[in-house]
Amino acid sequence: MNLSTNISAIDLFCGIGGLSHGLKKSGIPVLAGIDSDVSCRFAYESNNEADFIGGDITSITGEELLNKYWDKPGVKVLVGCAPCQPFSTHANKIKDEEKEGGKKWNLLNEFARLIEETDPEIVSMENVPNLANKKIFQEFVDLLKSKGYHVAFSKVYCPDYGIPQKRRRLVLLASRFGEIALIEKTHDKSNYKTTHETIGDLPRLDNGQRNPDDALHYTTALTDINLKRIKASKPNGTWMDWDEELRLPCHNKETGGTYKSVYGRMSWNEPSPTITTQFYNFGTGRFGHPEQDRALSVREAALLQTFPQDYKFYQNEGDISMTKLGTQIGNAVPVDLGCVIGKSILSHLQKHERL
């Protein structure tokens, strides 16, 4: 059966297309993605055969989406990952971000508004696990239930689905057709995909080096002191492995033991730490290469986020910016998690004979 005639998706807060590409990989066509960061347009449209709608989501109406994309019968799937900074554990320490009703908190309400205006048969949202504890999330779930959706949500450990990264995410699925759930886990501790399986075959890089055959396989140069620190670091070790003269003043404070993974070196034999927007900075997490004395390259982070090797991130090499790519790749939904969501939706629709 040709799924493209029966089902289609629109991706809110799409970024460079991690979730969209995962849906596409699963077999669900994506018609459009919406994001306020217009620098994502090239990567999104080049890889997903979908339109990129650049702009503030508050200016997008359901009527526009229905008229341009969902004007024919079929199963409508509305997905998205509202920017997670207001809901993260780190942001909860920042008073301005914690105020519910603020601009970023309101993005989830905009998602709810577009659900009401487009009336999709299937809804999926991916976000940080901490969101599940917030009043705004419960209101989102209550709205879906009041509209007749069957709602399920769970906290997902990405290695359980073959994603080589210790990322934990909240995934919500909602359907008008009946009970819906994620597909069964595909991996366990005995066969988690490791960092070595994912990036171990890439060409070696020295500190600050760029691979001549891959514009994305490059790293920022470490300072002299950080180069000494990474040389003193062990896989899965901490700054406590260093000699005293290499330690920072904060390490000697009582709170210094709280962030032991900062300036850490990754391990080959397990999934990587969560890839953040600062993966290229050795001092912001466990982003030291397992054996080479450097931080992660852009290519390595993209692969750990399960973007395929041929994913197009830039139009011209002159457009490459470590800061921009760090934000785009770190904020993305891992492609293979998007594929899991897509497979779950398709399994559900087949069960209810909607395809």
226 sits in the region (left: phi over 0; alpha: psi -120 to 50; else beta) called: alpha
Tell me how crowded residue 253 is: count the other CB atoms within 10 A of its CB.
10
DSSP-derived 3-state class of residue 67: helix
Catalytically annotated residue among 14, 84, 158, 339: 84
C-alpha separations of 228 from 232, 243, 291 in Å? 6, 10, 14
SS percent in the chain: helix, strand, coil, step 5: 40, 15, 45
Q: Distance between CA 104 and CA 87 in Å, rounded?
A: 9
- Give φ, ψ of 53 to 5 degrees: -105, 105
Whole-angstrom distance, CA of residue 70 vs CA of residue 323: 36
| 250 in active site | no
User: Per DSSP, what are the bridge partners of residue 156?
Assistant: 169
Catalytic positions are 84
